[in-house]
A and B are shown apart, each in its own frame.
Chain A
Amino acid sequence: MNATFAVLTRELRLALRSGGGAGLGLAFFLIVVMLIPFGVGPFPSLLAQIAPGTLWIAALLACLLSLDRLFQADFEDGTLDILALSPMPLEGLVAIKATAHWLTTGLPLVIAAPVLGITLNLPSNAYWWLVISLAVGTPALSFLGAIGAALTVGIRRGGLLLSLLVLPLYIPTLIFGARTVTAAVEGVDVMPAFLLLAGVTLLTLALTPIAAAAALRMHMR
């Protein structure tokens, strides 16, 4: 427990001290959402209709931003070798690092999303479900991203490849997440979409530490 806490605090400290930390993803989120009305026109009813999808896609892209550094820095400065020898299993390490990524990237998006929802004229009955769906869905984005980050660690220009590998894996989360909010807007039952979203997240949390740790071990030898 002590070691888990030590890794988590260190990850958070590193994220906050390097290059803007949480603020950067948040700024990106804001910019993407801001660009949408420029692209489709300033029509309140149209924006209201596309608001759930827009917010979800913007959150998804913002999550992707800082992923390529998740293991890359540790790989480059030799930390990964030492962590592999430490008493903590690599699977646990992956889970903690992905959690730290979510706390510094996903969580701020969850908090900021309702504010941006107002700018997109999101109907008032959907705000709770927007926050809940993002809170439940974005951890899956961080954990799936950990797989991509582990696969592409040590690869030149790995960032672009990471997006190509990770974005298709985001499809189920995006579909169920955006559908939850849309259902809330339409006033139909949100539960089917929401429960499927939660299911995908739980599966991801269980599966990705194993896969990402396997990939990291393959890279280290």
Chain B
Amino acid sequence: MTLNVSNLTCYRAGRLIFSDQNFTIDPGETVMLRGPNGSGKSTLLRALAGMQPFEGDVILNGVTLADDLDGVQEQIAYAGHLDAIKPQLTVGENLTFWAQLFEGGSISDAIEQFALEEIWDRPAHACSAGQKRRLGLARLVVSGRVLWLLDEPTVSLDTETTARFAQIIKTHCAGGGMAMIATHIDLGLDTPREIVLDPSAMRKSTPSRDPFLSGDWE
């Protein structure tokens, strides 16, 4: 259970976002992804989840992302900026659906860890932003996946819930899970490793591979 990333390079709309990222995440490890706005944190997480074209090698637990997209994706849980919640459904209906679809983790654990009992029958459109985020993150637990890719997970969470969420990540990793978290704040995890995306360090150095730039034009 290891994530191996080598020479990861991403372009978006022909623009180089970052290049030559090399890192490994071992079982039970949490890695913080740092960098200023626009440095490509979200792009990197999406690339690892197979939702963004990339160059380089991503190998999760022996499966290569470029060869077997499904084989990698079935080990990943992703939480992005959007909560993927349907306002017309209740909190319970939203979470039960994901639990039935993923058939991985325990729904009662998720309810307990994210304190969803009190808002279980509330329609999601009546929930606050923080409550929606809790519901969105509870999906990580019911999905039962090994690698969590989290993009700014603590936005709109209060201090108490943030601390609680840090504890949930610890529990996940203690059970052999892995997590990669893009965030600007200190989650209060015990000295996690950091990967820093520095835009100034990598631009210019990499020659563009755009077919409309390379070659001898008159």
Contact = CB atoms under 8 A, between A and B. Distances in A.
A60 B84 CA distance: 31
B84 A81 contact: yes
A40 interface: no
Contact of A77 (B84, B98, B139): B84
The size bracket of the interface on A is: 20 to 34
Contacts, number: 70
A13 to B, nearest CB: 7
Contacts of B93: 10, 13
A6 B53 contact: no
Contacts of A17: 88-89
A80 to B, nearest CB: 8
Contacts of B73: 84-85
B78 interface: yes
Report, as a range, how many residues of chain B touch the other chain: 20 to 34
20 contacts: A2-B100, A6-B96, A6-B100, A10-B97, A13-B89, A13-B93, A14-B88, A17-B88, A18-B88, A77-B86, A78-B84, A79-B84, A79-B86, A81-B84, A82-B78, A84-B51, A85-B49, A85-B76, A86-B102, A88-B101
B55 interface: no
Most central of B74, B83, B84, B103 by chain A CB within 10 Å: B84
Interface in A55-95: 73, 76-79, 81-89
Contacts of B76: 85
Contacts of B89: 10, 13-14, 17
Interface of B: 49, 51-53, 70, 73-74, 76-78, 80-86, 88-89, 93, 96-98, 100-103, 139
Contacts of B82: 76-78, 81
A81 B51 contact: yes
The 9 closest A-B pairs by CB, nearest first: A78-B82, A6-B100, A78-B84, A17-B88, A79-B84, A82-B84, A86-B101, A3-B101, A85-B73
Contacts of B96: 6
B51 A3 contact: no
A156 interface: no
A220 interface: yes
